Amino acid sequence: MDEKQRIWNSVLGEIELNISKAQFNTWIKNTYPVSMDEKEIVICVPSSFTRDWLQNKFNTTILNSIQKITGQVKQVRYVVQGAMPPKNNQIQSVINLKQDNLSKQAPKKQKPEQPAQQQKPEPQHQEQARPNYQASAPAQPQYQAPQAHVHQQHTYTPPGAQATPQQPMSMGNRAQNIIKQSYTFDTFIVGSSNQLAYAAAQAVANSPGTLYNPLFIYGGVGLGKTHLIQAIANQVVLQGRNVLYVTSDEFISDLMRSIGGKTMDDFKRRYRDVDLLIIDDIQFIKGKEGTQHEVFNTFNELYNLDKQIVFTSDRPPSAIQQLSDRLKSRFEQGMIVDVTTPDFETRFAILKRKCEQKNFHINNDVLAVIADKVRSNVRELEGALNKIIGHVSLLKIDVTPELVDRLIEGSKVHTQRSINEDAVIDTVVEHFNITRDGIMSKSRKKEFAHPRQICMYLLREELKLTFPNIGGIMGGRDHTTVMHAHTKIKKELEKRGDIEQDMNLVKNKLYNEG
């Protein structure tokens, strides 16, 4: 093994200790060094998608690890090559040499504990007993024109097959009525705001129950979570597998009916005799102990049988209040991905696709104006487009930038009026599950200091308030304190994905729910 490979293996081992196994297998594992000198190391990756993701999300982590080992390399460059490393260069993970350290520092997929009455001793090396699925790099998204679909509901039995007693019962039939056949991966517009979620959803759809289990997708309203999970359902159905898609409200209602009607055996068969269970808006089970207990038991049963589980939420598991620790642990043991507010390019591509679907032509200059003015989420973007199309169709007039300005102005003014300093503070307080008194206090505890800095940053960036004004609003603080907070958060947003996720979630709540 040459020197550069030895160094890279050490880097991989350190990174594996500090990120989830799913992330490591997807983005890091299938990479190898091509060349290295005192200034630069060149890393080969399997696809341009992986290259872009490593550059944007993991470059700082990788560079820090390399510099810690070599003390010299100043830059990491990623190149795309088709060849994979020779077999004798396979990773000898530091994890395998430090099993005790791994259990403390990095998430490790384990079989869930069984309910008390069914608990059984588990083997010492349970994870090694499970199949070792190699994670191939996600294929680069293909932007294809949408194909015409006849609008009909999915039948959850593959063509030519007979329904069996193990297929979903009445709840499954009701759930399939809300699956949109047009929600596929081909019709989903991929951008920087949803790349990871798209790649993870495709991986789950291609190989349910083997790679990312559970898959937990979170983000604000109208950003495409439902499109992604229904695309998973549509693809898995075509494989001849049984799928059950429900909202958390439907799960809760069905559980209550089953308890009242003493039909819990039917309930358990309905939710456990499936290959894929999708529960949308899982955050609404917070505070409902009986429902959480049944979700926990259902999760264990499906997971132990290698059946795929997918959840969506408006926030990550750690931020769901009144959720039991054991459920948080289950949700966090798989792959957690977020969808955030789409950037300009993604919004423009969405508008272009929607115009094609509606067979309505709007020139690119006008589409760019719409994409620039409607930034909050995909749902509002499509609503603005529908408003414009309806207006010009009824009045038989041309679409112009001036018309777009006038039609969108009302909703834009409303949004601006609804956002003030109290809305910002209240949204941050709710997101971080702290009190208003806490964020305004002089306490330097991290649980208050970090949200306080986020709040100061948002007051500056979103409301354009002066530093002295922000200091007065935030409990009479000096303007230099506010300047420091703003600078710190701005730098952290460039380096830390978790800060970026928090910021995007707060903004989504601020503009969509405020």
User: Which residues face 4 on adjacent strands?
Assistant: none
Instruction: Provide the residue type at 51 as one letter.
Output: R
For 393, other C-beta atoms within 10 Å of its C-beta total: 10
Residues 451 and 501 in one domain: yes
Q: In terms of domains, do 210 and 276 share one?
A: yes
Contact of 430 with 444, CB cutoff 8 Å: no
For the record, the structure tokens of 39 come out as 């200034």
Burial classification of residue 245, based on how many CB atoms lie within 10 Å of its CB (0-12 exposed, 13-18 middle, 19 or more buried): buried
Q: Are residues 278 and 177 in the same domain?
A: yes
pLDDT, one tens digit per residue, over 160-195 is: 333 333 333 333 434 444 788 888 998 888 887 888
Q: What is the pLDDT at residue 120?
A: 39
The domain of 27 spans 3-86
Whether the model clears a pTM of 0.75, i.e. scores above it, the answer is no
pLDDT computed for residue 410 by the predictor: 54
Give the CATH number of the domain where residue 385 resides: 1.10.8.60
pLDDT at 148 over 80: no
pLDDT tens, residue by residue, 401-428: 777 777 776 554 444 445 788 889 998 9
Cβ contacts of residue 312 below 8 Å, gap of 6+? 216, 217, 218, 225, 226, 229, 278, 279, 280, 281, 282
Residues 327 and 352 in one domain: no
Work out the angle at residue 197's Cα, subtended by the Cα atoms of residues 63 and 152, and round it to the nearest 5 degrees. 165
Task: Quickly list H helices, 186-288.
Answer: 195-206, 225-238, 248-260, 264-272
Is 127 within a domain? no
Least confident segment among 15-19, 229-233, 281-285, 301-305: 15-19
- 68 in a structural domain: yes
The residues that bridge with 216 in the sheet, in sequence order, are: 311, 336
Task: Give a yes or no: residue 94 inside a domain.
Answer: no
Of the listed ranges 83-97, 288-302, 369-383, 496-510, the least confidently predicted one is: 83-97
Please write down the HEC assignment for all residues of 413-448.
Answer: HHHHHHCCHHHHHHHHHHHHCCCHHHHHCCCCCHHH
Which residues have C-beta within 8 Å of that of residue 182, sequence separation ≥ 6? 146, 149, 151
Residue 145 lies in a domain: no
Phi, psi of 76 (to 5 degrees): -115, 130
Whether 236 and 374 share a structural domain: no
Q: Does one domain contain both 298 and 376? A: no
Q: Whole-angstrom Cα distance, residue 43 to residue 425?
A: 44
208-217 pLDDT, tens digit per residue, is 988 788 999 9
Is 237 in the same domain as 351?
no
Last residue of a domain, one of 41, 57, 86: 86
Q: What is the pLDDT of residue 112?
A: 47
* Residue 368 is assigned to a structural domain of this protein: yes
Q: What is the CATH number of the domain that holds 472?
A: 1.10.1750.10
What is the Cα Rg of the chain in Å? 25
Q: Are 283 and 320 in contact, with CB atoms under 8 Å apart?
A: yes
Domain boundary pick from 292, 309, 338: 338
Within 8 A by CB and 6+ apart from 270, the residues are: 168, 169, 170, 171, 172, 244, 254
* Amino acid at position 171, single letter: M
What string of DSSP letters covers 98-121? -HHHHHHHS----PPPPPGGG---
Same domain, 334 and 363: no
Structurally, the chain folds into a number of domains equal to 4
Average model confidence (pLDDT) for the chain? 76
Of the residues 279, 304, 338, which one is the last residue of a structural domain?
A: 338
Give the integer Cα–Cα distance in Å for 412 and 360. Answer: 24
